Amino acid sequence: MCGRTCLTLEPKELESCCKYKKKEESKPKPPRYRNEFNCGKKYTPSFNVAPTDVTPVLVSAVHFDDSADPADRLLVPMMWGMVPRWHKGDYRKHGLTTNNCRLEGLAMSKLYGPPLAAGQRCVILCEGFYEWQTVKQMKASDRPAFYVHMPQGGKVKVEDKTTWNADDDGEQLQLLRMAGLFDVWEDEHGDKLYSYTVITFETVGKFAEIHHRSPAILETDEQVSDWLDFKRVPANRAINLLQPPKVLQWFRVSNIVNNSRNKSAQCNKPIQEGSTKSPMVPKSKLMQSWLVVKKRKVEETDEQPGVKKN
């Protein structure tokens, strides 16, 4: 399962992190960022990306240019949570949960089968995703949250942006890349909304201690190429190429991430196992004013003789 991600890179930074090499070429090239209208929804970098937010995904350039090389790639902002192309009315009211889709029976699905058959495969990009431990019996609010990411090289720390180097000569951040499907929905005015879903399957290995479902992670550049190039790799073969991840890493984070409105940089910072203390979250000016007034009243009460403290 995948319900929250973290992506704080700007479009130009993403282009640098997503450079790819075509077999007949020796020099890596960045995918071009194509900014779509998406019914007014825009990509905003965030430490706590939630469904209905817009994030850039990788797709084959053929989807936007019939004459393009299928091996060429584009970065296209799309909304998380696939909107069925046949839905009528407000795109927010289709009543389906489409953030994730199960690999099992994917080809036979009335919702996901057509995009799969049409080659509408995408790669969802993030610095990491959040997962809550659900394999143990406990209240939802008490479930520990974890930040899941790819192994990093050199001195790069996935939770510390100051250690990332976008230059060709330095160690770059290793993005986490998830296999997904996308579709295109149009409103009554002909405006298009691009949206995606993350493919998941039954968890195997160590991660099964956290959750019984996990996203389909593409760990190598070859896997990314095979998933995107639908002209070269047909749907049935592409599905069979998806395998449980082997190299994922994770650490415990604060439960401030539980609330999707919390966008603080503290969301992906590690905390000690077993700790119940959350990092300090910057308070709003209204909250700060309220605390100042409350503190003043308490101090005035303490100074009054004969006033009993609560």
User: Could you tell me which residues are beta bridge partners of residue 129?
Assistant: 5, 148
Return the amino acid letter for 16: S
Query: pLDDT for 182-192, tens place per residue?
Result: 999 998 888 99
Which position among 2, 18, 101, 267 bears the catalytic label?
2
Give the integer Cα–Cα distance in Å for 75 and 55: 10
Determine what percent of the chain is predicted with pLDDT higher than 90.
63
How far is Cα 296 from Cα 298, in angstroms, rounded to an integer?
Answer: 5
Q: Which two tokens stand for residue 250?
A: 């994770």
Banded pLDDT at 275 (limits 50, 70, 90): low
Residue 224 DSSP label = H
Active-site annotation holder among 6, 131, 159, 267? 131
- Active site annotation includes 131: yes
In the structure, how many helices (H) and strands (E) does the chain have?
5, 13
Is pLDDT at 243 greater than 90 in this prediction? no
Q: What pLDDT is stored for residue 273 in this prediction?
A: 64
pLDDT in tens, 142-173: 789 999 999 998 889 999 999 987 555 557 89
Mean pLDDT for all residues in the chain: 85
Residue among 8, 16, 9 nearest 171 (CA)? 16
- Tell me how far apart the alpha carbons of residues 207 and 146 are, in angstroms, rounded to a whole number: 11
What does the DSSP 8-state code read for residue 160?
Answer: B
Is 3.40.50.1580 the CATH classification of the domain at 4-300? no
Residues 6+ apart with CB under 8 A from 138: none
State the DSSP H helix or E strand holding residue 287, giving kind and residue range, or none if neither.
helix 285-303
pLDDT tens digits along 48-105: 999 999 999 999 999 999 999 999 999 999 999 999 999 998 898 999 999 999 999 8
The domain segmentation of the chain, as residue ranges, is: 4-300
2 catalytically annotated: yes
